[in-house]
Amino acid sequence: SQQGEEDPQALSIQEGENATMNCSYKTSINNLQWYRQNSGRGLVHLILIRSNEREKHSGRLRVTLDTSKKSSSLLITASRAADTASYFCATDPEGNQFYFGTGTSLTVIP
Partner 1 sequence: DGGITQSPKYLFRKEGQNVTLSCEQNLNHDAMYWYRQDPGQGLRLIYYSQIVNDFQKGDIAEGYSVSREKKESFPLTVTSAQKNPTAFYLCASSIRVLRDSINEQFFGPGTRLTVL
Question: Site residues (CB under 8 A) for partner 1?
Answer: 1, 3, 30-31, 33, 35, 40-45, 48, 88, 90, 92, 95-103
Residue 93 preceded by cis peptide, ω within 30: no
Alpha carbons 104 and 7: distance in angstroms, whole number: 6
46/76 with CB nearer partner 1: 46
* Closest distance to partner 1 from the beta carbon of 3 (Å): 6
Q: How far apart are the first and last CA of the chain?
A: 38
* Closest distance to partner 1 from the beta carbon of 48 (Å): 6
* Closest distance to partner 1 from the beta carbon of 16 (Å): 28
Residue type, 63: V
